[in-house]
Amino acid sequence: MAEARKAMIKIKPKKYKVGDTVKVDFIVIHPMDTGMQKDKKTGKIKPAHYIDNITFSFEGKPFTTMKVWESVSTNPYFSVNYKITGKGKITVDYTDNQGEKNSKSKKVKPKE
Amino acid sequence: MERRKFIQSMFAATAVAAIATPTTIFAEEAKKKTAKKGPNDMTFDEAVKAITEGKEVKDSDKIKLTVPEIAENGAVVPVKVEVDYPMTEKESVTAIHILNTANGNARCADVMLTPANDKAYFATRVKLSKTQEVVALVALSDGSFIKAGKSVKVTIGGCG
C-alpha cells in the first residue's frame, strides 16, 4: 500500500514566457473509492478512499488549494491557471483520507 | 426454448413493473440508501448553506460552466468552469465550489484561488449518480456569491 502513486504535472502550452498564463494540469492514479461500492471478488464493501486535500505551490508559495470529496472521478484530473513569474518548481502536494501523503513537482523553464 | 424463455421473461418483467409502479417508492428507497451509506453525506442545500453561511446567491452569466448535455458514463463527466472576473489584489475570485444536486455527497471540489492564478479557471472530472444538475458556486473577494448551473443527462450512473 505504501508504493508511490503515479502522478503527472503538465504545463500547457509547452512553450511559454515570463508573464504568460499557462494551464497547469495535474493527474494522479488513484481509485477514489466512495465507500459505497462492493468489491467484485470478495463481495465486501470497499472502504472510502479518496484524495481530500491538494496544494499547488510554486517555490514553496501555495497558489491554489483544493478540498476534494469522493464525487470526483477515478484517476482524478485537475487543471488551474497560473501566471509564470520566473524559473522555479511547481509542486503539488496531495493527501488522502487514509493518511497517504505524496507530492510531485515539475520544473518551470520559461523561454526568454 | 429460447422463444419460450423470452416470453416468460417478458411476462415477469411486466409483472414486476406492475407491482412497483409508484415511482415515488423507488425515489424514497433510493434516498434512504444514499442517506445511509455515504460516510460524509450532505444534501445540496446543506452544502450551499455551509459555504455561504446563509448569504444570498445570485445567478450570474459571468460564470462559464462547460458540461456535456448528455453523459453516457456517469463515472467520468468533464466539468470546466471559467469566471469572467478580474484577478487582482483588490478584487478577485477567492473560491470555486463544484456541487451536484443528487449525489449522496453534494460537494465535489472546493478550489481556493489566489491572484497568482491570473484567470479564474478550473477543470476536473466528476462522478454523477443520475441525471442531475452541476452547479458552480463562486465566492468573490467582496464576500458575495454567484452561481451557475447546468443539468446533465446521465445514462449510466457512476456511483457503484
Interface membership of A52 toward B (CB under 8 Å): no
Residue B84 DSSP label = -
Chain B residues closer than 8 Å to A62 by CB:
114
- CATH architecture of the domain with range B40-156: Sandwich (2.60)
List, for residues A43-87, the tens digit of each pLDDT value.
888 888 999 999 999 999 999 999 998 889 999 999 999 999 999
Q: In chain A, which residue's Cα lies nearest the Cα of B126?
A: A72
List, for residues B53-105, the tens digit of each pLDDT value.
888 898 988 999 999 999 888 889 999 999 999 888 888 899 999 999 988 88
Residues in chain A: 112
Interface membership of A64 toward B (CB under 8 Å): yes
| Distances B28 to A66, B24, B25, B32, B107 between C-alpha atoms, Å | 33, 6, 5, 6, 21
Chain B residues closer than 8 Å to A63 by CB:
114, 116-117
Contact B107 A71 (CB under 8 A): yes
Q: How many CB atoms lie within 10 A of CB A106?
A: 15
pLDDT at A70: 87
Chain B residues closer than 8 Å to A77 by CB:
123-125
Interface membership of A74 toward B (CB under 8 Å): yes
Q: Does A13 sit behind a cis peptide bond, omega within 30 degrees of 0 on the bond before it? A: yes
Residue A3 DSSP label = S
Domain regions of chain B by residue span: 2-33, 40-156
Structural domains for chain A = 7-108 (2.60.40.10)
- Give the H/E segment covering residue B6: helix B2-19
* Residue A62 C-alpha, separation from nearest chain B C-alpha, in angstroms: 9
pLDDT band at B145 (very low <50, low <70, confident <90, very high): very high
pLDDT at A37: 81
φ, ψ at B143 (rounded to 5°)? 90, 0
Q: What is the mean pLDDT of residues A7-19?
A: 90
Residue A33 DSSP label = B
Contact A71 B100 (CB under 8 A): yes
pLDDT band at B1 (very low <50, low <70, confident <90, very high): low
Give yes or no for residue B159 having a pLDDT over 90: no
Interface membership of A42 toward B (CB under 8 Å): no
Contact A64 B113 (CB under 8 A): yes
> How far is residue A106's CA from residue A61's CA, in Å, rounded to a whole number?
14
Chain A residues closer than 8 Å to B37 by CB:
35-36
Interface test mutation site (partner B, options A44, A73, A82, max chain B beta carbons within 10 A): A73
